Amino acid sequence: MSEKPSRTQKKKEAVELQEYGEKLVKLRDDQINGIALPEEILQAVRFAKTLRHGALRRQLQYIGTLMRRYDVASVREVVDNTEQATRRRNRATREIEKWRDNLLAGSETVMKEIGSRCPDADLQYVAELVREAGAEKEAGRPPRSARILFRYLKNIRDEERGDQEKER
């Protein structure tokens, strides 16, 4: 004989589903469209994006209630994968910002690290951008070269990541 879930367990599951509903509401529309959601939940999520405060809270509770009726394993998987991808992107951005800041501070070890991790990187171009950024800073001009440096570092890092993923 199987035991029925306790009230506490049911409440925990309801809160968890409501939290996933909240995460769904925070996703971009193109991300939501990529999830195989029942139309009823999809409409409730889209409507929740237009609400604020108490109405939003009630709508999230409603989404949680709707989600109890369906198998939401795919929703959990997509939301979790999206969150992981966002964390990876944020980590990569912080690393690139650190590279840029250390380069602008005159660190040669970062230049060597970039050269070893990204063999296709044009280190002369990087050095030129670092010099220009230093000159702009001294002259009190906007940090145009520092922005270009960041974008270049991001591009070479993304290329390096793409090459690594192709090898897998």
Q: For the chain, what is the radius of gyration of the CA atoms?
A: 24
- Domains in the chain: ranges and CATH: 7-70 (1.10.60), 89-167 (1.10.60.30)
Structure token pair of residue 49: 């994006």
Integer Cα distance of 4 and 9 in angstroms: 10
Q: What is the pTM of this model?
A: 0.66
Task: Judge contact between 99 and 110, C-beta under 8 A.
Answer: yes
Mean pLDDT score of the chain: 86
Which of the pair, 148 or 67, is modelled with greater confidence?
Answer: 148
| Percent of the chain scoring above 70 in pLDDT | 95
- pLDDT for 48: 93
**Average pLDDT, stretch 129-143?**
92
- pLDDT for 160: 75
Integer Cα distance of 44 and 30 in angstroms: 16
